Structure 1
Amino acid sequence: MRQIVMVMVAVIVFSFPLSIQANDTESLHTWKELNHTSDQILQLVKQEKFEEAKQLLDYFSVMFLEVDFQEEKITMSSLRTVTGSFEHAVEAVTALDMPLDQRIYNVTAFRLAVDALSSEHHPLWLHTEESVMNALSNMKVAMVAGDSQGYQHRFNEFLRHYDMIRPALLIDIEPQHLQKIDSQITYLERMRSEIIDKDKVVPHLEVMETEWTYLYSRGKEDSADPSLWWVMFTIGGMITMSLSYVGYKKYKAEKQKVRGKE
């Protein structure tokens, strides 16, 4: 019985990737190419090769328009988001006096949006957790210390991170969740024009930290590859069946021994 179970497990483990490969359609290849091209554009901008980056953006545009958006079930909201981030990326490589860091931020936002649209698992925006959470933490530290100028500086830093990942969030998370985050940020922006009240800001920042922690943890759960879970549950079920059978056989053998002695 144990040998049979092991054979079944082996068949499942080795045949499952083959079934995935069989479903690797031309559409999947196109999305991989789009994702790869957006990454190349970002690398070129970091190297200040703006003309080459512009050429790749033109190539991306042509390739992207060949996608059957209805067939791919891409929503109008997601399409507008990617189009908007694309326009900002074009501006980043064609502007004459834009600072390099702002160019990189714009193109990174485009890169994250394309990845969010094309990747079913492990989107790149999840890797921004440390920088975003650090920015929130630094805002709270500055406010607790009464450092108003430092708080404003950290707030600007947080806003830059948020503007960079917001297009990807528009694609990946529920609208009501994003609206909640937007309203929390709007509240802090309104308080900038007033005398900042530490007793109001600090608790609000703690709520935001909780919200962002939940956002990233939820994103990690949603990005888990269901095929991996399927394999784990299947193999786990087979192992459980094997152990149950072995235990049952041992129980019967022990019972027969007792009967023999009697």
Structure 2
Amino acid sequence: MRKRIILMILILVFSVPQSILADENSSVHTWKSLNNTSDQILQLVKQQEFEEAKQLLDYFSASFLEVDFQKEGVTMSALRTVTSSFESAVEAVTAMDMSLDRRIYKVTAFRLAVDALSSDYHPLWLHTEESIMNALSRMKETVEESEIQAFQHRFNEFLRHYEMIRPALFIDIEPQQLQRIDSQINYLESIRSGHVDEDKVLSHLTIMESEWSNLYKRVKEDNADPSLWWVMFSIGGMITLSLSYVGWKKYKAEKQKVRQKD
């Protein structure tokens, strides 16, 4: 009897309709393939193999258009963002006079956008935390040392990083939060022109540091792997049911002993 109950528990916990499982596996395979293709494109650009990268971009386009976006729950805004970053990537591999760094930035933006669309948790753009936070920290250092020209250079460097990850942010975070980040950057651009008020710039950079730190922290927490919780819940439920059954059997045996004594 005990083995039968445990077997039923296992069946209830782990059984999934085969049609649903097949659809999920097909969907996962499609997004994984698209993600891998975008990564291969980026590697080719870094190696300055632009013709091969263009061929893979054409392949990506054909594969991407086969996705049922409505079924996959892809919003129109996310679709437009990936399409725009794709067009920038095409420009990067076909332009005649673009610097290699600029090409890599554009194709990396495309790579991060595809990953943000296809990843259920921990998107690649989270790995930019160190570079973004360091860029903000270096800007503060230049202002504190009254090196305004160096500050302008560091700020332009930060803007290049932000331009690279913004498509992924547009897909992954709430519009209000992205709007707040854009407003903070636009304000910093406005106060850096002309005479730079060092105290005002430092105060605003501190606000930006806090905003970005909270952003990375919140997204990491929100994008934790849900499969871990599912496994913990499943195993915990099985153990609870098994212990309950054992406890019930023990209670029944004790009760039987009392009856025999009576």
Shift of 1:192: 2.2
Give the aligned partner of residue 179 of structure 1: 179
Shift of 1:6: 9.9
Give the aligned partner of residue 44 of structure 1: 44
How do 1:1-262 and structure 2 match up within 5 A?
Answer: 24-236=24-236
Contact 1:35 1:118 in 2 (8 A): yes
> TM-score, structure 2 length as denominator?
0.84
Cα distance in 1, alignment partners of residues 58 and 166 from structure 2 = 23
Contact 1:13 1:231 in 2 (8 A): no
SS at match of 2:70: coil
Cα distance in 2, alignment partners of residues 108 and 206 from structure 1 = 28
Shift of 1:221: 1.3
- Code of the aligned partner of 1:212: W
> TM-score, structure 1 length as denominator?
0.84
Shift of 1:214: 0.8
1:4–1:141 distance in 2 versus 1, CA, 3 Å: farther
Shift of 1:9: 9.8
Provide structure 2 residue ranges, at least 5 long, that are not aligned to the other structure.
Answer: 248-262
SS at match of 2:109: helix
Shift of 1:234: 3.9
SS at match of 1:25: helix
Cα distance in 2, alignment partners of residues 165 and 141 from structure 1 = 24
SS at match of 1:116: helix
1:44–1:97 distance in 2 versus 1, CA, 3 Å: same
1:170–1:131 distance in 2 versus 1, CA, 3 Å: same
Shift of 1:231: 1.6
Cα distance in 1, alignment partners of residues 154 and 6 from structure 2 = 56
- Code of the aligned partner of 1:42: L
Q: Once structures 1 and 2 are overlaid, which stretch shifts more, 67-76 or 42-51?
A: 67-76
Cα distance in 2, alignment partners of residues 21 and 101 from structure 1 = 43
Cα distance in 1, alignment partners of residues 241 and 68 from structure 2 = 45
